Chains A and B, each alone.
Chain A
Amino acid sequence: GQSLEQPSEVTAVEGAIVQINCTYQTSGFYGLSWYQQHDGGAPTFLSYNGLDGLEETGRFSSFLSRSDSYGYLLLQELQMKDSASYFCAVRDRSSNYQLIWGAGTKLIIKP
């Protein structure tokens, strides 16, 4: 079957760095995306990894290792506004390239 696993909740301190991991099991992996969702809001796209390695966009970076079926989202210089849920989602060939979603990680930031 197809599945993604990510921690349900992560707590960090303002100004710190946090890493949210995602492991996946799919039959036709194509790429890994990360989305951010604030309470009651729409998921917003953060990053996409189609190849192994690190993609950096400002304070956010995302990493992919296809051989390990693993990726992570790295958030640096945490700000209170980064408190949100973060979803990893895999685009899968065997599912018509649809996004298959993890359950989300709630990031709690303390001052």
Chain B
Amino acid sequence: EAGVTQFPSHSVIEKGQTVTLRCDPISGHDNLYWYRRVMGKEIKFLLHFVKESKQDESGMPNNRFLAERTGGTYSTLKVQPAELEDSGVYFCASSRQGVGAEAFFGQGTRLTVV
């Protein structure tokens, strides 16, 4: 069974540009989460999809961030326009239904905004 995959693994962009991160969850996992870790700080929740619906987007920092999950399969997280403080590692995770279900993480996308 393939794990959670994220693309790209690294991205370096200039301030003001747009970047789109992609996450492919484990097949059959309804829950999909986006997290971000800024250097040296804790992992912060961004948002949660259940299938194609946004269950909780309370962690999204501002309206420069837009997440979608087409057909309840893969998800994209777009940052437009990117700012310096957006730099960090963006993790995607997926889990089966159920509150305590184990979350499986992707390798993350390291975003650097210069």
Q: Is the interface of A mostly helix, strand, loop or mixed?
A: strand
CB distance B58 to A95 under 8 Å? yes
B14 close to chain A: CB less than 8 A: no
A residues 9-47 with Cβ under 8 Å of B?
30-31, 35, 40-45
* Contact count A vs B, C-beta below 8 Å: 57
A48 close to chain B: CB less than 8 A: yes
CB distance from A92 to the nearest CB of B (A): 10
CB distance A104 to B48 under 8 Å? no
1/0 contact string of B48-63 vs chain A (CB within 8 Å): 1000000110110000
Residues of chain A within 8 A of B33, CB atoms compared? 98-99
CB distance A103 to B42 under 8 Å? yes
CB distance B56 to A48 under 8 Å? no
CB distance A101 to B99 under 8 Å? no
Known: A87-B43, A101-B44. A45 touches B56 (CB 8 A): no
Size class of the contact patch on chain A: 20 to 34
CB distance from B51 to the nearest CB of A (A): 15
How many residues in B have their beta carbons less than 8 Å from beta carbons of A?
A: 25
**Which of B66-74, B76-84, B101-109 is near enough to bind chain A?**
B101-109
Residues of chain B within 8 A of A4, CB atoms compared? 42
CB distance B108 to A96 under 8 Å? no
Top 4 A-B residue pairs of the complex, sorted by shortest distance between their CB atoms: A42-B105, A101-B43, A103-B42, A96-B56
- CB pairs A–B below 8 angstroms (15 shown): A30-B100, A42-B4, A42-B106, A42-B107, A45-B102, A48-B102, A50-B100, A91-B99, A95-B45, A96-B58, A97-B99, A101-B42, A102-B42, A103-B41, A103-B42
Given A43-B105, A95-B45, 12 more A-B residue pairs with CB atoms under 8 Å apart are A30-B99, A35-B105, A41-B107, A44-B105, A91-B100, A96-B58, A98-B48, A98-B59, A99-B103, A102-B42, A103-B41, A103-B42
